Amino acid sequence: MSPRARRLACAALALLALVAADALAAGALSVSGGWGRPTPPGVEVGVGYLLIDNGGAADRLVGASSPRSRRVEFHESATPGGIARMRELKDVPVPAGGRVSFAPGAWHLMLVGLVAPLLAGEQVPVTLLFEHAGPREFVLGIGEAAPAPRPRRLVTLAPHLTELVYAAGAGERLVGTLNTSDYPADALRVPRIGDVTHIDAERLLALKPDLVLIWGDGSPADQHALLKRLGLPTLSLEQHRLADVADTLESLGRVFGTEAVANAAAGRLRAELAALGARYRHERKLRVFYQVWSTPLYTLGGRHVASEMLELCGAENVFKDQDESAFMVDGESVYARDPDAIALAGTAAEAKEWRARWGSQTPLRAVAAGAVFTLDPDLVNRMGPRIGAGTAALCAEVAAVRARLPVRR
Ligand SMILES: [Cu+2]
């Protein structure tokens, strides 16, 4: 290796090491719960409180700054002999695996030389400098009291809830989930506590969750009962219409304090769905049989979100007049309703079997015309952030059938 090549290789390695160290530190140390009281006009100092959670090695807080004041100091309050005093600290140790709390009556940040008074409702940016972890930015929410603590150890009891937590910007707080949580890829590394039929209560408790997310009308009753018995803080979520998914993302953002990420994800989903609606609104309506199981034959009714998705694609569920959400039908009634197309919402293996079954019978018009298509059940059945992609896939299949189908008389 030439000296020049060696120097380059060294530089590249050093850079990689830096990037790796930074990524590790970012996961290990977090600042949350920043707040401070409003200041009266003319007062030149303000106070800030916060929490530092250090999941990594011992560190030290060595500096702080804010665009709102000339400087930011670390202070300690004490009341020797009943007289309140404060003294400045040069730095603050942050022990390994520990929490450092800046709170009224104890440590606090002192914003010295305020540029302008701190007003209720404001978000004041502050940067903390750690000896090892480097700079961390956060905000002080100005108000009369500390904000409610954000949940930091989450457990989800359904795969779509896992997807929602990631999309809302709190995926790194997941400490447990079910075996079926397989998206996004990071979710595969989250510890498992069981499946839909059995949850390991011991393991769930050992994870010390401060919030368990359960599927209101989808999780089995015994899971609801288990959470109640264990006394764990629970958030029950239900989504029935497409619009509910984006709304849920936004409310999760408020719960987690990750509004920026969650609101952006909600906005993307709404735009995705609105674009599909606009594109297919004036297309020729196709009548679709939406199959979710074969033996017995199962479909979905007018109140199920699948009917709304079909509607958005310029199609119509042939069983939309049925009130039940999911129900069994006999083959005869499918023949009687004579759909233009059949949508199979099943895995590749399931769909292959379902197709074969239709193929072995007196052909339906849709089957004879080859208007049978498969939908990825993870995209169309989960009321999560990928429901937009699922609806887009459904619309594309419907459009392909429409393009080939002769106009009916
Ligand atoms: Cu002070």
CATH of the domain at 315: 3.40.50.1980
Q: Tell me, yes or no, whether 306 and 364 share the same domain.
A: yes
The verdict on 316 and 382 lying in the same domain is yes
Asked if residues 364 and 336 have their Cβ atoms less than 8 Å apart, the reply is no
Give distance in angstroms: CA of 58 to centre of ligand 1: 25
List the one residue out of 337, 403, 399, 345 whose CA is nearest residue 364.
337
The 10s digit of each residue's pLDDT in 185-234 is 999 999 999 998 999 999 999 999 999 999 998 999 999 999 999 999 99
409 within a domain of the structure (yes/no)? no
Q: How far is the CA of 86 from the centre of ligand 1 (A)?
A: 6
Cα 63 to averaged position of ligand 1 atoms, centre (Å): 15
CA of 19 to the centre of ligand 1 (A): 36
C-alpha of residue 205 to centroid of ligand 1, in Å: 40
Residue 24 has pLDDT above 50, yes or no: no
At residue 108, φ and ψ (nearest 5 deg) are -155, 160
Ligand 1 midpoint to CA 137 (Å): 21
What pLDDT shows up at residue 5?
Answer: 47
Q: What angle do CA 124, 49, 143 make, to 5 degrees?
A: 60
Structure token pair of residue 189: 């590394």
* 67 and 41 assigned to the same domain: yes
* Domain shared by 161 and 249, yes or no: yes
Predicted model pTM:
0.73
Rounded distance from Cα 257 to ligand 1 centre (Å) = 27
Residue 377 placed within a domain: yes
3-state helix, strand, coil in the chain (%, to 5): 35, 30, 35
How many domains does the chain divide into? 3
Bond preceding residue 38 cis, omega within 30 of 0: no
Flag whether pLDDT at 109 surpasses 70: yes
- Reported as a single tens digit per residue, the pLDDT across 343-378 is 999 999 999 999 999 989 888 999 999 999 999 999
- Residues 301 and 375 grouped into a single domain: yes
Expressed in angstroms and rounded, the spacing between residue 75 Cα and the centre of ligand 1 is 5
Task: Answer yes or no: is 340 within a domain.
Answer: yes
pLDDT digits (tens, 9 = 90+) for 147-169: 878 899 999 999 999 999 999 99
HEC string of 6-21 equals HHHHHHHHHHHHHHHH
Tokens 């408790």 — which residue? 205
- Domain assignment of residue 37, given as a range: 28-142
Burial of 74 (C-beta count, 10 Å sphere; 0-12/13-18/19+): buried
Measured from the Cβ of residue 355, the count of other Cβ atoms closer than 10 Å reads 18
CA–CA separation, 66 vs 112, rounded Å?
10
Which of 215, 245, 271 is a domain's end point? 271
Separation of CA 73 and ligand 1 centre (Å): 8
400 & 287 share domain:
yes
Read off the CATH number of the domain in which 98 is found. Answer: 2.60.40.1890
Kindly give the distance from the C-alpha atom of residue 111 to the centroid of ligand 1, in angstroms, as a whole number.
Answer: 8
User: Is 83 part of any domain?
Assistant: yes
Instruction: Decide if pLDDT at 22 tops 70.
Output: no
Instruction: Tell me the C-alpha distance between 188 and 181, whole Å.
Output: 7
Q: Give 159 Cα–ligand 1 centroid separation in angstroms.
A: 47
**Cα(130) to centroid of ligand 1, in Å?**
20
On the question of pLDDT at 66 being above 90, the answer is yes
More confidently predicted of 21 and 403: 403
Tokens found for residue 6: 């060696």
CA–centroid distance, 113 to ligand 1, in Å, is 13
Query: CA gyration radius for the chain?
Result: 28
On the question of pLDDT at 116 being above 90, the answer is yes
Percentage of residues in the chain with pLDDT exceeding 70? 93
Specify whether 256 is located in the same domain as 191.
yes
Q: CA nearest 173: which of 39, 60, 32?
A: 32
> Which of 255, 274, 271 shows the shortest CA–CA distance to 168?
255
109 CA to centre of ligand 1 in angstroms = 7
For residue 76, how far is its CA from the centre of ligand 1 (angstroms)?
A: 7
End residue of a domain, out of 213, 238, 271: 271
Tokens of 320: 């939309």
pLDDT of 9 above 90:
no
**Amino acid letter, residue 78:** A
Taking the centre of ligand 1 as the mean of its atom positions, its distance from the CA of residue 107, in whole angstroms, is 8
102 CA to centre of ligand 1 in angstroms: 11
Q: What are phi and psi of 219, to 5 degrees?
A: -70, 145
Q: Quote the ligand 1 centre to 131 CA distance (angstroms).
A: 22
Confidence label for 408 from pLDDT (cuts 50, 70 and 90): low
Mean pLDDT computed over every residue of the chain: 90
Query: Is 285 within 8 Å of 316 (Cβ atoms)?
Result: yes
